[in-house]
């Protein structure tokens, strides 16, 4: 079964492939190279839903999978949290080109 994974992050794609071995995972970037929804949620769950809904619009009729994750550091009062990917700047994100 094919799943469209709403990520451009090679590391996340590889990890998901290692876990979901019964599925063929395809990056959303293969369908929509400029896919970059605004993650305006207030939680990891809300941002994952935003990405899933945006991916479904890009790939109607396909099954999509989305996630959101980040670092929650007690010494930083939970920061950077949902802002983890932007915490050290855009150049530090590993995106599939």
* Residues belonging to the active site: 68
Distance CA 16, CA 10 (A): 10
Cis peptide bond prior to 80, omega within 30° of 0: yes
The rounded radius of gyration (Å) of the Cα atoms in the chain is 14
């Amino acid at each position: 079964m094919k799943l469209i994974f709403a990520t451009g992050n090679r590391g996340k794609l590889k990890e998901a492939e290692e876990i979901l071995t019964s599925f063929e995972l395809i990056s959303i970037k293969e369908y929509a190279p400029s896919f970059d929804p605004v993650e305006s949620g207030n939680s990891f769950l809300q941002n994952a839903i935003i990405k899933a809904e945006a991916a479904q619009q890009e790939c109607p009729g396909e099954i999509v999978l989305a996630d959101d994750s980040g670092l929650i550091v007690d010494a930083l009062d939970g920061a950077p949290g949902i802002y983890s990917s932007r915490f050290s700047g855009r150049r530090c994100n590993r995106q599939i080109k």
